[in-house]
């Protein structure tokens, strides 16, 4: 067992589940999506990206790339939220909300790719 | 210079053929366009108007090529229509003439030849990786090309026979092998084939004519004094001539086979290992053939018979020779001047013969000798010479103990020289060391690989082949052979590969020990399985895997955990 693998696996799966938790719900209903959940997902994913810095292996490069994609998409979603927060009393309008959740959905997909690569690599190395 | 002259020839032929038609087209266009621009027309309101030169050109272009977009820019007057009729007939005839000339040109055999040579030279010039030139694409040439293809090496092929080049085009090689139908003894064709290119590794000469082989060698030596030449030759006079050129490796299939036979008699285990190394499908590792050393009969005292005879005598065997023309052979037990038949075989003492060589240059005669032997003395050891590769199926069915196929022997030997010269050095080393060392190596290979075919490959400790190893060695860390060939899935186990030799500068380390420490620029010859090669390449190029193989622990990879790891270690040993 390798401590780095445990920590990275934990962080990356946590990031995936938080993103999923944020995306769940009607796409244009602001009350179904919690902005805190989005923020926590961003933070956890940034930590995962940081953990992969310095890995020179091919799989490491791929993991870093996919977690960077997640960062970009989630931060874009958060920025849209900040801009559109005051559109209605209860937060972003349905159109803006759909944009935000779509971006987070894309991030969810990239997160899923990261986890699949991680699991595949672990299964192949069989140590 | 020769390269540009080729291009000049193609363009010259084109120009000569197209001179007439192009001239005719220009004249017809000029007449048609001028006429159309001069003849008065009228615009939509009936005012007189002349067609502009541009419109005239536009009209003529679509009329002459029979496209016909109609009357533009305005409806034509009758005078214009009259001229349009003239234009149509003139233009169409001129175009037909031009197109006919183009068709005649592409069917002209000289033009096709010039174009092929030009294309061939261009595709050879585009080769960036190392390549070999093969002159002669007969049985041997095509076997060699197949072998090169198996190793993903490129060959450039010249053969004088157009049928052979057509056959080449139909082969399904992984790598592109340009072929030219031309006389390889002509210097221009050799230059086109790339004898002067720095990435041309060697020229292999395999045509059937000894005289032409010698001529190609001489030409090549003059064109490129440093190029390595491998030439098939079995005539004394030509061999002497070739040797004087320098840096020529002579491949004499009959000598090679006689040596192999010698090896089979004196060192059966090495003969068996050698057969497996060159991937002879009839050799099974660890099951050497037993050549008896009783009375032998050689049928046919030609080139092969002479070599076999020489090696038999060297091993203390005095064979009986059956040949219609042989006479005055020193040391032979008996000479029977007859064609090999049942009677002459009986006269030669087939009843108490240990082995027979059917070595005439006629496949049919050899097969019928073999059938007589099967009938008269079924337990005799039989050596059969096969001259024509096309008779393979019949020879497979003949069940001889050893078959010499000159083309196959030559192709295997050339390939050994080209792809893995270290293998021959290794085999020579084992021959000097004796059968016991060879037996040990075979049993080690056998226990590692089992019954799978042996796979040979060479690796150089350089950045391209083994980036992680180079990095490891540059950090002044030691790396032994055993550590490198550990199995990353199970450190107790090792990969299916065994190092046969290491070339370190001028030094050759044969059968290196497990503890042998690797150095930069070592060239290692490995034997194992293809899976073993892939796994070893992965270990040699992945720094993390290599580190795991050496230390047995998975090092942290990211900056953060590396930092934590260093802190943890310095806390453990505060010194």
pLDDT band at A20 (very low <50, low <70, confident <90, very high): very high
CB contact under 8 A, B544 and A57: yes
B interface test, pick of A5, A7, A9, A54 with most B CB neighbours within 10 Å: A54
pLDDT band at B5 (very low <50, low <70, confident <90, very high): low
A interface test, pick of B558, B562, B565, B568 with most A CB neighbours within 10 Å: B558
Has residue B331 got a pLDDT over 70? no
User: Of B419, B443, B477, which one is at a domain's C-terminal end?
Assistant: B419
Same domain flag for B236 and B267: no
A50 touches chain B (CB under 8 A): yes
CA torsion sign for B257, B260, B266, B271 is negative
Residues of A in contact with B560 (CB under 8 A): 50-51, 53-54
Please, how many CA atoms are within 13 Å of residue B377, restricted to the half-sphere of its CB?
A: 20
Query: Residue B320 in contact with residue B297, Cβ under 8 Å?
Result: yes
Same domain flag for B488 and B536: yes
Same domain flag for B56 and B199: no
Residue B196 lies in a domain: yes
| pLDDT (tens digit per residue) in B30-43 | 999 999 899 888 88
Mean pLDDT of B513-540: 89
Same domain flag for B301 and B407: yes
| 3-state DSSP assignment of residue B372 | helix
CB-based burial, B274-286: b 16+ in 10 Å, e otherwise: bbbbbebeebebb
How many independent structural domains does chain B possess? 4
| Chain B residue with minimum CA distance to A63 | B558
The complex's ipTM works out to 0.74
Residue B113 lies in a domain: no
How many independent structural domains does chain A possess? 1
Residue B352 lies in a domain: yes
Range of weakest confidence among A61-65, B214-218, B264-268:
B264-268
Residue B26 lies in a domain: yes
pLDDT band at B157 (very low <50, low <70, confident <90, very high): very high
Predicted local distance difference test score (pLDDT) of residue B2: 45
CB contact under 8 A, B558 and A56: no
Residue B442 lies in a domain: no
Same domain flag for B283 and B244: no
Share of chain B above pLDDT 90, in %: 14
Has residue B271 got a pLDDT over 70? yes
| Chain B residue with minimum CA distance to A5 | B556
B interface test, pick of A47, A50, A51 with most B CB neighbours within 10 Å: A51
Mean pLDDT of A9-23: 94
Same domain flag for B328 and B466: no
Range of the domain at B527: 452-559
Residues of A in contact with B562 (CB under 8 A): 54
Has residue A90 got a pLDDT over 90? no
Range of the domain at A20: 3-125
| Average pLDDT for chain B | 86
Same domain flag for B370 and B490: no
Same domain flag for B15 and B163: no
Q: Between B73 and B51, name the one with better pLDDT.
A: B51
Residue B489: both structure tokens together: 């899935």
Residues of A in contact with B544 (CB under 8 A): 56-57
Residues of A in contact with B543 (CB under 8 A): 56-57
Predicted local distance difference test score (pLDDT) of residue B489: 85
Q: Tell me which residue of B191, B195, B193, B10 sits closest to B118, measured CA to CA.
A: B10
Same domain flag for B388 and B536: no
Query: Residue B418 in contact with residue B148, Cβ under 8 Å?
Result: yes
Mean pLDDT of A90-94: 87
Query: Residue B496 in contact with residue B457, Cβ under 8 Å?
Result: no
| pLDDT (tens digit per residue) in B491-502 | 888 888 889 899
Has residue B432 got a pLDDT over 90? no
Has residue B8 got a pLDDT over 70? no
| pLDDT (tens digit per residue) in B220-246 | 999 999 999 999 988 888 888 888 888
Same domain flag for B132 and B190: yes
User: Of B107, B139, B170, which one is at a domain's C-terminal end?
Assistant: B107
A52 touches chain B (CB under 8 A): yes
Has residue A24 got a pLDDT over 50? yes
Has residue B6 got a pLDDT over 60? no
| Chain A residue with minimum CA distance to B546 | A57
Range of weakest confidence among B17-26, B76-85, B335-344, B407-416:
B335-344
Residue B567 lies in a domain: no
A60 touches chain B (CB under 8 A): yes
pLDDT band at B445 (very low <50, low <70, confident <90, very high): confident
User: Of B251, B284, B317, which one is at a domain's C-terminal end?
Assistant: B251
Q: Which helix (H) or strand (E) holds B232?
A: strand B228-232
Same domain flag for B211 and B316: no
Residue B97, domain CATH:
1.10.287.70
Same domain flag for B67 and B169: no
Has residue B1 got a pLDDT over 60? no
Predicted local distance difference test score (pLDDT) of residue A69: 95
């Amino acid at each position: 067992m390798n401590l780095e693998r445990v920590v990275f696996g934990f962080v990356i799966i946590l990031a995936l589940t938080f993103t999923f938790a944020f995306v769940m719900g009607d796409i244009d209903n602001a009350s179904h999506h919690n902005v805190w959940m989005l923020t926590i997902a961003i933070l956890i994913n940034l930590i995962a990206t940081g953990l992969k810095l310095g890995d020179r292996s091919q799989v490491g490069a791929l993991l870093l790339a996919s977690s960077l994609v997640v960062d970009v998409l989630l931060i874009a979603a958060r920025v849209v939220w900040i801009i559109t927060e005051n559109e209605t009393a209860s937060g972003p309008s349905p159109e803006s909300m759909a944009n935000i959740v779509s971006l987070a959905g894309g991030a969810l997909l990239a997160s899923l790719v990261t986890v699949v690569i991680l699991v595949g690599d672990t299964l192949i190395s069989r140590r | 210079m020769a390269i540009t002259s080729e291009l000049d020839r193609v363009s010259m032929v084109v120009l000569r053929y197209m001179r007439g038609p192009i001239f005719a087209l220009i004249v017809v266009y000029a007449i048609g366009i001028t006429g159309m621009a001069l003849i008065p027309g009228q615009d939509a309101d009936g005012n007189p108007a002349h067609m502009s030169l541009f419109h005239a050109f536009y009209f003529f272009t679509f009329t002459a090529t029979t496209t016909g977009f109609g009357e533009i820019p305005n409806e034509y007057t009758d005078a214009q229509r009259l001229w349009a009729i003239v234009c149509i007939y003139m233009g169409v005839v001129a175009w037909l003439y031009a197109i006919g000339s183009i068709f005649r040109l592409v069917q002209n055999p000289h033009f096709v030849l010039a174009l092929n040579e030009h294309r061939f030279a261009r595709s050879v010039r585009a080769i960036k990786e190392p390549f070999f030139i093969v002159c002669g694409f007969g049985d041997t040439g095509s076997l060699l090309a197949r072998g090169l293809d198996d190793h993903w090496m490129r060959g450039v092929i010249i053969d004088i026979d157009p049928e052979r080049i057509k056959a080449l085009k139909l082969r399904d090689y992984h790598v592109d092998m340009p072929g030219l139908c031309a006389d390889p003894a002509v210097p221009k064709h050799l230059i086109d084939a790339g004898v002067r290119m720095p990435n041309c590794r060697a020229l292999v000469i395999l045509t059937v004519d000894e005289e032409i082989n010698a001529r190609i060698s001489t030409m090549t030596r003059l064109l490129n004094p440093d190029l390595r030449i491998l030439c098939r030759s079995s005539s004394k006079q030509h061999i002497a001539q070739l040797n004087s050129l320098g840096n020529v490796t002579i491949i004499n299939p009959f000598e090679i086979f006689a040596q192999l036979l010698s090896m089979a008699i004196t060192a059966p285990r090495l003969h068996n290992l050698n057969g497996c190394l060159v991937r002879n499908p009839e050799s099974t590792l660890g099951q050497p053939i037993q050549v008896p050393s009783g009375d032998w009969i050689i049928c046919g005292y030609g080139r092969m018979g002479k070599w076999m005879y020489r090696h038999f005598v060297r091993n203390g065997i005095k064979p009986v020779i059956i040949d219609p023309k042989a006479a005055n052979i020193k040391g032979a037990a008996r000479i029977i001047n007859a064609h090999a038949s049942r009677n002459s075989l009986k006269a030669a003492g087939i009843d108490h013969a240990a082995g027979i060589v059917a070595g005439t240059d006629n496949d049919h005669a050899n097969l019928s000798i073999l059938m007589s032997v099967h009938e008269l003395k079924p337990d005799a050891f039989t050596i059969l010479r096969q001259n024509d590769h096309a008779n393979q199926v019949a020879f497979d069915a003949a069940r001889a103990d050893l078959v010499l196929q000159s083309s196959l022997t030559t192709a295997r030997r050339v390939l050994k020289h080209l792809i893995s010269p270290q293998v021959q050095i290794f085999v020579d080393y084992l021959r000097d060391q004796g059968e016991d060392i060879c037996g040990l190596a075979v049993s080690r290979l056998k226990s590692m690989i089992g019954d799978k075919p042996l796979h040979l490959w060479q690796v150089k400790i350089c950045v391209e082949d083994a980036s992680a190893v180079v990095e490891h060695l540059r950090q002044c860390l030691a790396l032994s052979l055993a550590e490198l060939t550990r199995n990353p899935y199970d450190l107790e186990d090792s990969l299916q590969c065994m190092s046969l030799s290491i070339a370190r500068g001028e030094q050759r380390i044969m059968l290196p020990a497990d503890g042998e420490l690797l150095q930069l620029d070592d060239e290692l010859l490995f034997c194992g399985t293809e899976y073993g090669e892939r796994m070893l390449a992965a270990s040699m190029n992945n720094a993390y895997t290599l580190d795991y193989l050496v230390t047995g622990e998975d090092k942290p990879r990211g900056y953060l955990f590396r930092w934590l790891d260093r802190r943890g270690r310095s806390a453990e040993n505060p010194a």
